[in-house]
Amino acid sequence: MLPKDPILLLSVVNTKLRDNYPSLEELCHAEDADPQEIIQTLDAVGYVYQPDLNQFR
């Protein structure tokens, strides 16, 4: 289960993307998470998913 706090979510998601998953879609599939929910939550605190870097910045 991914954290609800946006800053903790950012840290966990970026770490998982770096260490385990080649894309946000694969991470969401494995974690049974909604990619749009993650994107919206992190966008609200100023972070955008960059597929070419496979991280939120």
Residue 1: its pLDDT value, please? 87
Which residue in the block uniquely carries the two structure tokens 């994107």? 39
Helices (H) and strands (E) in the chain, counts: 3, 2
Q: In whole angstroms, what is the distance from residue 29 CA to residue 25 CA?
A: 6
CA dist., res. 38 & res. 49, Å (int):
9
Return the pLDDT at 14: 98
55, 18 Cβ separation under 8 angstroms: yes
- Model confidence over 23-46: pLDDT tens digits? 999 999 999 999 999 999 999 999
Model confidence, pTM: 0.95
- Over 90: is that where the pLDDT of 49 sits? yes
Return the closest-CA partner of residue 9 out of 50, 33, 52: 33
Is residue 9 very low, low, confident or very high in pLDDT (cuts 50, 70, 90)? Answer: very high
